[in-house]
Amino acid sequence: MKHLAGILLLISTVLTLPGCMSTTPSDLLGIWKINSFTVDGFDRNRVAFNRNGLDDPVEWGNAIQFMADGSFQTNLGQQGRWKLSKSRTDVLLYTLEEAEPVRWKASVGDEFLVLYTSTRKIIFSRTDQLPAPPTPTPPNLLTNLPGTWYFYEWIDQQDTILYPSTEKQAHWLTMDWQGSYQSGEGKHQSFQGKWVLQQDTLQLSDTEQALRQTWHIQLSGDTLFVEPADDTTQWFKALLVRKM
């Protein structure tokens, strides 16, 4: 652990220096597995397998392989071409889906790779083989939904919101086995009512304010993904977690 802490401290120090060291193509060749991923300083490891757009490394799964012929692949099946910028400080990733390449600053050592922008940083370490993508068994939603869920992230057409991670400020949703729910912020309860699950659709009906919300949900371990299930609701995507 002390050795790992020393490596991470070294990486952090490199990233604070002005400018970037030049990278050669041979430096990048091989397979790299994500050790950590942060956005604006927030840890995003818990959503490492969410699919959200190529400029977001969670789209890659948790490993990427750079090959000598200029191609790359990830353990989620993403493929494309890569090259270094003329200054050899940036890595450019090209895919069929994107008109423009995705650009990352790069810092490479013998056993670590750091790709970063002004707001994002991904730390990789070398590995011998590309790991298989996760294939979780679909959970039984009805038996796994009851309990308390905390809002972690909210994405809509205008913005991305990362929710407070302290219990005093956390936004929460609690569902019990009798079909009742409460939701609120910190110690304050804002809504209460009944919840009904039909396959992968969750309906929340507030008994006092005559409000009804219908969500498509997907459960992966201790993470709950939520999207609106009707066309009249403005699009959003929310991520809830069991523990802050």
Token pair, residue 192, equals: 């209460």
| pLDDT value, residue 138 | 61
User: Residue 33: which CATH number?
Assistant: 2.40.128.270
Residue 3 has pLDDT above 90, yes or no: no
User: In this predicted model, what pLDDT tens digit does every residue of 199-229 receive, in sequence order?
Assistant: 889 999 987 777 888 999 988 778 888 998 8
154 & 74 share domain: no
Residue-range definition of the domain harbouring residue 44: 28-127
Residue 105 confidence (pLDDT) above 80: yes
CATH code: domain of residue 221: 2.40.128.20
User: How many CA atoms lie within 13 Å of 112's alpha carbon, on the beta-carbon side?
Assistant: 17
What pLDDT score was predicted for residue 8?
Answer: 38
pLDDT value at position 56? Answer: 47
Query: 41 with 106, same domain?
Result: yes
Residue 223 is predicted with a pLDDT of: 86
What does the pLDDT read at residue 221?
A: 76
Residue 213 is encoded by which pair of tokens?
């919300």
Same domain, yes or no: 147 and 68: no
In this predicted structure, what is the pLDDT of residue 212?
85
Query: Secondary structure of the chain: what % helix, strand, coil (to 5)?
Result: 10, 45, 40
229 token code pair: 């299930």
Is residue 19 in some structural domain? no
Same-domain status, 109 and 146: no
Rounded mean pLDDT of the chain?
Answer: 78
Rounded to whole angstroms, the Cα distance separating 50 from 56 reads 10
pLDDT band at 231 (very low <50, low <70, confident <90, very high): confident
Are 33 and 112 found together in one domain?
Answer: yes
Domain count, the chain: 2
Both 97 and 149 in one domain: the answer is no
Which residues have C-beta within 8 Å of that of residue 65, sequence separation ≥ 6?
30, 31, 32, 72, 73, 74, 130
Pick the closest to residue 229 from 213, 218, 214 (CA basis). Answer: 214
Q: Are residues 147 and 71 in the same domain?
A: no
Quick one: which H or E segment has residue 7? helix 2-16
| 190 belongs to a structural domain | yes
The residue out of 71, 104, 127 marking a domain boundary is: 127
